[in-house]
Amino acid sequence: MEFFKKPRSLVILGAAVAALVVLWQFWRWEVERIEVKEGNYLVRIHRWGKDLPENQLVAPDDSYKGVMLNVEGQEGRYFLNPLIWSYEILERVDVPTGKCLVLTRKFGKDIPKDRLAQGQVLVSRDEEEINDERGMFRGIVREVVLPGRHPLNPYAYSWESVDAINIGPDQVGVRILKVGKDPRELPIDPKQPRYVLPDGYRGVQEAVVRNGTYYVNPYLESIIPVEVRSHKAELTDIEFPSRDGFSLKPHVMVEYQVLRDKAPEVLVRLTDEGILHQLDSTQQQQEQNEILQKVILPHIRGYARIEGSNFDARDFIFTSAGPANQKAINPRERLQKVLLQKVQPRCRELGIDIRAVTLGQMNPPADLADQISQRDLARVEREKNLIRLGQYKEMQKLKSIEAMKEQNREKVEADTRLKVAKTLAQQNKQTEELKLKQELDSAQIRLDAAKAKAEGILANGRAEAAIINLQNEAEVAGLRKSVQGFGNAGQFAQYQMIMRLAPSLREIFASDESEFAKIFANYMTPPVGTPSKTGSPVADGTRPGNVNGQK
């Protein structure tokens, strides 16, 4: 207690507490602090704890060491002791619109055999299974991950992206369940075979899927779009015998559609690979169209042969010859009506609604058509010729009147074009003359300017040459004057050399025979006739004084 009564001790204690607080804050905010930015998430890794059980890749809680199962999916600030925790900051998994993710759980126990026997081969992400005392099972997860940005633990799950299924407004979806109850448990009716199954049983479901966008797990189920809109197809390979023994080939137009509620049954009955081909614009598409090849064509061919044999070929030929003859139209209409009445109920039982059957142009034999229609064609042709003759006469009058009008119009237009052409020619002529005159004046001005410029350049050249000559003559005269003061040009050169060397030389130590002295020997010898220091001229050109030439 005496320690706390001393003021110095209290100061030391307060300083220690403050230091601990500062150190704690530094540790907290500089060492433990983790900033998770927007679009990222945090995966925690525990450094200490119990070893994970067999088949466990992630730790369920912090009593185990390893990667934590649950991730921190929210961006923000976290505090983790680096002595206890490690971590990874990952970018959220972006699932675009029109896609979904199928997860596969990497950890957990094997799915029990009793569940596999019941067809439950997928695992679930719901809370009941997560909190199950038996633990979680590894495998493909039933639920898919919808579009968005999700914090998925890559150590616990792997995933693959699959396309969403779009069912248009003129379509329905046929749902095929791959995981579910065993359909062999259902009662069997020998009189009515089962093509579709109730909800929950593996196989094609009897309930259709309405239009919309569906995100499905391809390992759990699949949805196949089937068009239920009305189609029109022209059938050109229908042939039937007439009552009088001729073979007729009419063009048959069929309007049909798949019944909405029977689309699953149509898919099962008609397809071999689970794809229903419904295009029918070309012959190749019609050959691939299962609805036409397996349902419509067989029924129409059969009933056309049966019902068409009740008519004569002549009835159909008259029908094609004159639409104004009401009796000639009746056989074709009757055959259309009979075909529709016979084919429609049969196809509806198979899920196809035949809305209309129309017989187009017939293709009768050529010899039969000639025999029956030769007289009618001659009469019609004669009437047409009389009508054409009257039309030609009226047309001839109209053509003559139109030709005169056209001639007068063209004459007026020709006169107008001639006047316009003359006016334009006169204007163009005046314009060109004015333009040429201006160009001639401009050329003359440029020529005079060029001559003046040439004369000026020549005068400047002559003046500059005269100045240069005078300068050269002045320099030569100065040199000539300077040389005249010496005996010869060599003496003048010797004088110039000595005048330039003298300011730089003080003493020269060299013998008269040295190479260095030879350089200056000629310049140190006074010229002939130059008086020496004693007053007597030097005759032989040698310098009096020091013979050794040391100075």
Share of the chain above pLDDT 90, in %: 21
| 349-389 pLDDT, tens digit each | 999 999 999 887 666 666 666 766 676 677 788 888 888 88
Q: Are 231 and 280 in contact (CB under 8 A)?
A: yes
Average pLDDT over residues 61-87: 85
Report whether pLDDT(510) > 70: no
Instruction: Tell which residue, 213, 534, 240, 453, has the closest CA to residue 362.
Output: 240
Name, in order, each residue with C-beta under 8 angstroms of 336's C-beta and a sequence gap of 6 or more.
357, 358, 359
483/396: higher pLDDT: 396
In the predicted model, what is the mean pLDDT of the chain? 81
Q: Are 208 and 264 in contact (CB under 8 A)?
A: yes
d(CA 207, CA 221): 14
- Architecture of the domain spanning 231-364: 2-Layer Sandwich (3.30)
d(CA 115, CA 139): 13
Report whether pLDDT(15) > 60: yes
Report whether pLDDT(2) > 60: no
Q: Are 336 and 269 in contact (CB under 8 A)?
A: no
Q: In what order do the strands lie in the sheet with 157-163?
A: 139-145, 99-105, 157-163
Instruction: Tell which residue, 26, 45, 43, has the closest CA to residue 83.
Output: 45
| 265-291 pLDDT, tens digit each | 999 999 888 888 999 888 899 899 999
Instruction: Tell which residue, 372, 251, 232, has the closest CA to residue 304.
Output: 251
| Measured CA angle at 168 (ends 167, 173), to 5 deg | 35
| 3 state DSSP class of 227 | strand
- In sequence order, what are the beta bridge partners of 227? 171
**The two structure tokens encoding residue 363:** 């293709």
Delimit the domains of the chain by residue range.
32-163, 165-227, 231-364, 394-484, 487-551
Instruction: Supply the DSSP symbol for 162.
Output: E
User: How many H-runs (helices) and E-runs (strands) does the chain carry?
Assistant: 13, 20
**pTM reported for the whole predicted model:** 0.57
Report whether pLDDT(140) > 80: yes
d(CA 517, CA 403): 126
Greatest mean pLDDT range, 188-192, 440-444, 499-503: 440-444
Q: Are 328 and 386 in contact (CB under 8 A)?
A: no
- DSSP labels, 449-488: HHHHHHHHHHHHHHHHHHHHHHHHHHHHHHHHHHHHTSSS
